[in-house]
Structure 1
Amino acid sequence: MSAPPSVIVFDVNETLSDMSPMGVRFTEVGASAGLAKLWFATLLRDGFALAAAGGNGVFSEIGAEALRGLLSGTDLNFDLGQAVEHIMAGMAALELHSDVPDGVRALGEAGYRLVTLTNGSTAVAEKLFGPAGIRGSFDALLSVEDAPAWKPAPAAYAYAAQAVGTDPSEMLLVAVHPWDIHGAAKADLQTAWINRAGAPYPAYFNPPDYTVTALTELPAALGAESGGGPSR
């Protein structure tokens, strides 16, 4: 295990935000709720493909285009353009998972610097954190829109390290996505996987340094490993 991290980097979509209400958005336009997961997976796939080919797409633009493809030919309650707008607006209306506010506050009080690194927009994080009263816990809200590529490309994590002025080895990435954990580990970050669903971790990815079932468990996990708090 490396030295204790001083900076904790949070993924946002699904890690901090509860995306389960997106299924309702799909049913409201006349589509199946199950399409919500397929849509998000398609969005990520295409964003990853652009990154692998040397590009850097915009989350909202890819999301809207993916929706047009998935909803095309479906008998909707709205016209296609309105349906896409209605579903995409749901991303800005999401709320935090219940364990997030207390977990974030505890990590901040323990002395860690907190930042986000999202493949989406920083505006989504702003809207999430404001009502919960935790915006002030974060030093910076970072997006790959300002980086050379999406996560899990190494350049995304290098961008975050440069933005906060620290070495990647002193950072810990917190995410629910094993692909993000793997990418961060390959970029020399420490990693913590939030496994709220009790799912098995894919053996083909680098394993996380820490596994917790809720963010509120992470301060104790880090404290037990480091002897209490971040290195300075």
Structure 2
Amino acid sequence: MYKVIMYDVYGTLFDPSSAGKAVREAFPEKEAEVASLWRRKQLDYAFLCQMTGTYRPFSLLTKEAFIHALEAYGIEPDDRLLQGAVEAYKTLDIYDETEEVLSRQKGVVHAVVSNGSRDMLEPLIHDSGAAPFIDEILSMDEVKQYKPSPAAYQYALRYFGVNRKEVLFVSSNTWDVIGAGTFGFDTLWLNRSGSIFETGHHHPDYTGKSLYDLESILESSRSEK
């Protein structure tokens, strides 16, 4: 049976598309487009930092990605919009089933393992209904290695002092599932968008549409023991 379940945050427990509220009031017709490009550039910048060995906090990358997204749609960044962007990632919408599913899982450590900076993660999680059920928050800001670098997963493994097969890693991001699976964790891919997995890479051990599928996986692992 798994001893630790590690969860990605953005797209797994919380909905990053809800960050579009940062431009909702001023530019409601561009909310979805800005949010989508913002998220894509946020990841691009993190990957670039990892590949070039020039680590910068995810909170800074998030702001820079937001500026890029605004400018791409002809929107002039100003202090009000930038402040709204900072707050948006601290108040993302939680997926409907997150609190319910986490509350029912006993006898296992629930840990967030995220590229997000601690100053982004703590207010987001602590002000959500999931807070009582999250035992640990691990930010890659502490090791300055972004997922899917093996060093990021090694940090999480070392933190809990367990072996790889005692961990189930849960993410909606294919690159995160590939990274965790290649490292040696069992993985659950939450395919919330109904897409197909990446070709030619390490595939997930389990696939589900939401966190509800986690419950059947855990029940199956218990019965096998």
TM-score, normalization by structure 2: 0.89
Q: Does 1:179 align with 2:171?
A: no
Contact kept? 2:67, 2:77, Cα under 8 Å: no
State the SS of the aligned residue for 1:142.
strand
Partners of 1:85 and 1:193 in 2: CA distance: 33
Matches within 5 A, 1:70-85: 70-72=69-71, 76=75, 79-85=77-83
Q: 2:104 aligns to what?
A: 106
Unaligned runs of 5+ in 2: none
* Secondary structure of the structure 2 residue equivalent to 1:204: coil
Structure 2 matches for 1:18-167, cutoff 5 A? 18-30=15-27, 32-33=30-31, 34-72=33-71, 76=75, 79-107=77-105, 109=106, 111-167=107-163
TM-aligned CA distance change 1:56 to 1:15, over 3 Å: same
Which residue identity does 1:214 align to in structure 2?
A: S
Structure 2 CA distance for partners of 1:75 and 1:182, relative to 1, 3 Å: closer
- What's the CA shift string for 1:183-215, capped at 9, x where partnerless? 001111110011122221222331111111111
1:208 aligns with 2:204: yes
Identity between Structure 1 and Structure 2 (%): 27
Deviation at 1:163, TM superposition (A): 1.1
**Structure 1 unaligned runs (5+)?**
none
* 1:12 alignment partner in structure 2: 9
Size of the alignment, in residue pairs?
223
Give a deviation string over 1:113-152, Cα, whole Å, max 9, x none. Answer: 1111111023444334434443232321100001141000
Aligned-pair Cα RMSD in Å? 2.2
* Cα 1:133/1:90, change in 2 over 3 Å: closer
Q: Distance in 2 between matches of 1:21 and 1:114?
A: 24
Shift of 1:79: 5.0
Tell me the distance in 1 between the aligned counterparts of 2:77 and 2:194. 39
1:178 CA displacement: 0.5
**Secondary structure at 1:151's aligned position in 2?**
coil
Q: Is the 8 A contact 2:71 2:77 kept in 1?
A: no
The alignment partner of 1:8 has SS state of: strand
Distance of 1:73 and 1:200 partners within structure 2:
28
**Amino acid paired to 1:224:** S
Q: Which amino acid aligns with 2:25?
A: E
**Residue type matched to 1:67 in 2?**
F
